[in-house]
Amino acid sequence: MMHLAEMLTFSGRKVVAAWASLPFPARPGCLLPDALCAHPQAVPWKLLSPCRARKVSGCFAQSVVLRGVCKERKPPASPLHACGSTEEALQRYLHTLFPGALSTSHVLEQPCHTQPPYPQFFSPLLTRQGFLLDKPPRYPSAAVESIPVLAALQSAPLLRTLLRGLYTELQRLKTRRWASFFSAGVEQGDFQEALEELRTLSQAYETGGEADESEDEADSD
């Protein structure tokens, strides 16, 4: 995970955000282009990192892995269906939603297995293979045995808010009041230097509009 994060960060960045779609919203027998075309404006994943979600999605670099979705072919009904492989379809989809970003993607046939002791917290709208149904079945189905999953690590501007907030909270600490705070041998000067490095790191995730906002925040500080 650490090495993968290093591959996605550049220009002074060191942190990535985690996203996941568990399960990935696909219907029984659904092809990957069908599932992707159902979400033309935003990838159907949820943010796992403690950042505030942005209205406009965007990123600098990302690595996306999808597993457990059918790879069968059928006559093309869209540019995504015309792709030569599911890997190509996912890559084109990511480039459409995140133009200019460095995106790597992988598609695996094997789903994520969810047999015991995996917790059964799934909706009754899921089949045993983790695919979505239009309505709950008439009779309770067996436990979900596997699910398709999409997961991603992303170097994105939303991390600026997380890092900036962490810097602000640490800056408010009255460390001199806590005699045990530096008992591990950390000097006050080292602590202040680390704070400045954190602030510099947050600025590495700024885009054009955020840079102006950051200057205003600096003036208010």
Residue 219 reports pLDDT greater than 50: no
Q: Please state the φ and ψ torsions of residue 17, each to the nearest 5 degrees.
A: -105, 150
Mean pLDDT to the nearest integer, 49-76: 77
Residue/partner pairs of 160-164 with CB below 8 Å, 24 or more apart: 160/202, 160/203, 160/205, 160/206, 160/210, 160/214, 161/51, 161/52, 162/15, 162/17, 162/49, 162/50, 162/51, 163/15, 163/198, 163/201, 163/202, 163/205, 164/199, 164/202, 164/214, 164/217
Mean pLDDT of the chain: 84
Question: How much is the pLDDT for 69?
Answer: 84
Mean pLDDT to the nearest integer, 76-95: 84
Q: Which residue has the higher pLDDT, 71 or 47?
A: 47
Mean pLDDT to the nearest integer, 7-27: 90
pLDDT, tens digit, for every residue of 97-121? 999 899 999 999 899 999 889 998 9
Question: Which residues sit opposite 103 in a β-bridge?
Answer: 62
pLDDT confidence bin for 51, thresholds 50/70/90: confident
The amino acid present at 219, given as its one-letter code, is D
pLDDT confidence bin for 218, thresholds 50/70/90: very low
CB of 186 within 8 A of CB of 39? no
Portion of the chain with pLDDT greater than 70, in percent? 86
Query: What are the sequence ranges of the domains in the chain?
Result: 1-155, 160-204
pTM of the model: 0.79
Mean pLDDT to the nearest integer, 204-212: 70
- Distance (Å, whole) CA 159 – CA 53: 10
Which of these ranges, 142-146, 151-155, 173-177, 195-199, has the smallest mean pLDDT? 173-177
Residue 179 reports pLDDT greater than 70: no
